[in-house]
Amino acid sequence: MTDHDSTTDGDNGELAPVATAVLTHVVRSIVDDPEAVQVDATEGRGRVRLEVRVGPGDLGRVIGRRGRTAQSIRTVVRAAATRDEVEVDVDFAD
């Protein structure tokens, strides 16, 4: 489990709630350990950056062959972000 002392945890709902929810749902459906998925949102330069962290061994599943899965996730989340009226960047952290 992670501590919720990060300032970005409370901001997720405020910065891009729809995009964050879609991203969390999609990534949790792909990985072996859905409880380990963590999405942090930060704002900068007029964009919201969504950083995804997954459990050990799951990063390869999320990125996929030649990055195709990751790119597809980014496309879906960017489309969802239009509901939030923001532009988002999705980063996958290891």
The structural domains of the chain, with segments of one domain joined by +, span: 34-94
Q: What per-residue confidence (pLDDT) applies to 46? A: 84
Summarize the confidence of residues 53-78 as an average pLDDT. Answer: 97
32 phi and psi angles, rounded to 5 deg: -75, -30
Q: Is pLDDT of 12 > 50? A: no
The CATH T-level fold of domain 34-94 is GMP Synthetase; Chain A, domain 3 (3.30.300)
pLDDT for position 10 = 41
User: Sorting pLDDT into bands at 50, 70 and 90, what band is 35?
Assistant: very high
19, 76 Cβ separation under 8 angstroms:
no
